[in-house]
């Protein structure tokens, strides 16, 4: 009888450990969904911007207007907090931003913090220096190389559930 009693406690201990391990696994998986969402959004914008640039090139549509419409569509209909878009050519480009919370912004070396504001779209045309655009957000620098042809670059930040920033 003693051997069967020990087997019972051994099986009970294994079941308890399995339940605890399952709970920890589920908790870890549930906490990482926010991070995946912003990377999914980054990939979606990359695909849609390529298609939109192809559309503008094949139909002769105004590139700036077409890309502004795409950018504003994302700022209005997605979960990201702050969006920064750079599009155009290496010689004439546009900076478009939307912020739902304040951030310290410098664009090509000039402070834009008080100008951009929150809850509105800010648009600025610029001529790139050395075919580059430099955006600084809260002290983090992002340098984008701009090709001679059409370009579309972006930065998305999301502070819900952590501080996530992606570029494309």
pLDDT digits (tens, 9 = 90+) for 89-129: 777 788 888 877 777 777 766 666 666 767 777 788 877 77
pLDDT in the model for residue 91:
76
Distance set, CA 37 to CA 73, 112, 147, 155, 164 (Å): 17, 28, 29, 15, 10
Which residues, at least 6 apart from 137, have a Cβ–Cβ distance to it below 8 Å?
Answer: 82, 84, 103, 104, 105, 155, 157, 165
H-helix or E-strand spanning residue 116: helix 113-116
pLDDT in the model for residue 150:
81
pLDDT in the model for residue 96:
81
β-pairing, 82-88 vs 110-111, is unpaired
Low-confidence ranges of the chain (pLDDT < 70): 1-5, 26-36, 77-80, 108-115, 117, 160-168
Q: Are 80 and 41 in contact (CB under 8 A)?
A: yes
Rounded-to-10 torsion of CA 124, 125, 131, 132: 0
């Amino acid at each position: 009888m003693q051997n069967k009693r020990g087997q019972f406690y051994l099986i009970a201990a294994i079941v308890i450990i399995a339940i605890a391990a399952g709970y920890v696994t589920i908790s870890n998986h549930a906490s990482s969904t926010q991070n995946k969402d912003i990377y999914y959004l980054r990939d979606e914008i990359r695909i849609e911007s390529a298609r939109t640039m192809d559309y503008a090139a094949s139909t002769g549509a105004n590139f700036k207007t077409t890309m502004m419409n795409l950018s504003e569509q994302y700022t209005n209909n997605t979960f990201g907090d702050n969006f920064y878009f750079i599009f155009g050519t290496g010689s004439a480009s546009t900076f478009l931003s939307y912020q739902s919370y304040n951030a310290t912004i410098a664009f090509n070396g000039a402070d834009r913090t008080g100008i951009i504001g929150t809850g509105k779209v800010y648009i600025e045309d610029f001529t790139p220096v050395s075919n580059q655009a430099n955006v600084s957000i809260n002290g983090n620098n992002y340098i984008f190389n701009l090709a001679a042809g059409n370009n579309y670059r972006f930065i998305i930040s999301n502070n819900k559930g952590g501080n996530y920033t992606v570029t494309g």
